[in-house]
Amino acid sequence: MNVALLKIEFYLSGCRSLKEKRRRLQGIRDKYGRAANVAVCESDHQDTHQRAQWCFVATASSADVVDRTLSDIERSLQLGVDAEMVGAHRQWL
């Protein structure tokens, strides 16, 4: 079994409330939380308006599948989230 973690940091320019932050990032959990081989959570900065950190853990029998899954998530988030991605880190577990 191959397992990897993708940790992504976001900056939400102009965000003035936690309610607005959650609205702007709501689609992340909705979109990726349903995948059978991916777990997702907001992992840090829960009480900070303009910052967010989300973690994605992917599993598969093939390392290539895990790598491709996390690459697809990262690429999708760069284009489809109302926030600036300021960092991304991968770690094989």
Domain range spanning residue 13?
2-92
CA distance 58 to 40: 9
Burial (Cβ within 10 Å: 0-12, 13-18, ≥19) of residue 45: middle
Q: What is the pLDDT along the chain (93 residues), one digit of tens a residue?
A: 999 999 999 999 999 999 999 899 888 888 888 888 999 998 988 888 899 999 999 999 999 999 999 999 999 998 888 899 999 999 999
The CATH number covering residue 67 comes to 3.30.70.1120
Q: How many domains does the chain have?
A: 1
Q: Taking the complete model, does pTM exceed 0.85, yes or no?
A: yes
